[in-house]
Structure 1
Amino acid sequence: MSKVAKATIGLMLATIIAKVLGFGRELVLAAVYGASMYSYAYLTAMNIPVVLFTIIGTTLGTVLIPMYFEVNNDLGEKKSIKLYK
C-alpha cells in the first residue's frame, strides 16, 4: 500500500473518531443542560472559533495555494518560495 493510501486511511480514521467524540460531547451537553440559555451560550462560544478558522482555511485553499502553484509553474520553485517569505 502506498504512502498516500496509508495517509488517507489514517486521516479518515482520525476524522471518524473526532466525529464520534463530538457527537458524544453533544449528547452529554444535551443531557446535562438541555435547551437552556447556558447551552446556547456554550454553543455560540464554540462556534465562533469554528467560523473564523473556516474563513481562514477557505481563504488559504482558494487564494494562496493556487497562487503559489501558478508562480511555481511560471517562475520556478525558488521564486514561489520567495513569494511567501
Structure 2
Amino acid sequence: MSCAVASLRLWCCAIVLWMQLVAVCGEIHCFCTMAACVSTGYMCKSTKGLCFSDYFGHPPGDPAQSRYGCLDLLSSASSSSCQGDS
C-alpha cells in the first residue's frame, strides 16, 4: 500500500470519527465573522446545530462583504427567515 493510500484512509477514518463525535455530542462549530466571535478565534458553537452565511455585496463570497456565524447569534426575525419559517 502506498503512503498516499494509507494517508487517505487515515484521513477518512478521522473524518468519520469526527462526524460520529459531532452526532453524539450534538455540537456544531461554525466559522464566525461577527463581533461576538473575535474573542473565540472567529469560531462559535451553535446550540441550534446550524451555521449561516449572509452576503451583502457583489461578487458573492467577497469576505469583506459577507457575514458568517452560528444561527443562534442572529436576531429572532433573521433566524426565522434562515429556517424558512413564516
**TM above 0.5:** no
Which is higher, the Rg of structure 1 or of structure 2?
1
The structure with higher relative contact order (CA 8 Å, sep 6+) is: 2
With normalisation by structure 2, the TM-score equals 0.33
Larger % of strand: which?
Answer: 2
Larger % of helix: which?
Answer: 1
